[in-house]
């Protein structure tokens, strides 16, 4: 009986030289004055987990992540009334509301109040190996890419790096 020989797995190489080669372009950002509800809508509709935050002049002033929103929600949900089972509740117009509902205070928190007020970035020309080293050094999952005028032009995530690995 012949035993199958195990082959050494192919070694992967990064098929990118610079941050520009790795990045996903056409960033979608969110304004610092947007509400929590607007941020949630953006993240849900676009399937995002992070977005750069800009001021009214379009300058990056921070980053908002799903984690920032979860921390905010955990620390600030406020209910106006306790849960009421089988109670008769009505709107101001007299419309009956079924029992078991809670009325939640609408959260008017702005993105600026939840964001991380730092934007970790690299230039387009930054070597790909340096990008990876910087992500590891900073313990971040995303690095933003800027041009020489410091305008945001892209973002690099771990998935962008994996996409560029070839045997």
pLDDT digits (tens, 9 = 90+) for 39-79: 999 999 999 899 999 998 888 899 999 999 998 888 775 65
**What is residue 5's predicted lDDT score, i.e. its pLDDT?**
73
pTM tops 0.75, yes or no: no
Within-domain flag for 83? yes
Using a 10 angstrom Cβ sphere, with 0-12 exposed, 13-18 middle and 19 or more buried, the burial of residue 122 is buried
Residue ranges making up the domain that contains 47:
13-166
Taking the C-alpha atoms of residue 89 and residue 92, their distance in angstroms, rounded to an integer, is 10
Specify the number of domains making up the chain: 1
Taking the C-alpha atoms of residue 60 and residue 68, their distance in angstroms, rounded to an integer, is 17
CATH code of residue 58: 3.10.580.10
Which run of H or of E encompasses 166? strand 165-166
Whose CA is closest to 64, among 26, 19, 27, 24? Answer: 27
Within-domain flag for 2? no
Mean pLDDT of the chain: 87
Within-domain flag for 3? no
């Amino acid at each position: 009986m012949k035993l199958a020989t195990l082959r050494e797995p192919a070694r992967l190489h990064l098929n990118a030289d610079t941050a520009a080669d790795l990045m996903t372009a056409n960033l979608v950002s969110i304004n610092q004055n947007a509400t929590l509800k607007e941020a949630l809508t953006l993240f849900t509709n676009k399937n995002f987990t992070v977005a750069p935050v800009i001021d009214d002049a379009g300058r990056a002033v921070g980053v908002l992540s799903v984690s920032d929103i979860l921390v905010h929600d955990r620390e600030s949900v406020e209910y106006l009334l306790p849960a009421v089972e089988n109670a008769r509740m009505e709107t101001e117009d007299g419309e009956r509301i079924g029992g078991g509902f809670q009325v939640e205070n609408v959260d008017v928190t702005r993105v600026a109040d939840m964001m991380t007020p730092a934007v970790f970035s690299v230039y387009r020309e930054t070597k790909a190996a340096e990008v990876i080293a910087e992500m590891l050094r900073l313990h971040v999952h995303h690095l933003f890419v800027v041009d020489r005028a410091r305008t945001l032009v892209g973002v690099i995530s771990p998935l962008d790096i994996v996409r560029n690995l070839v045997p």
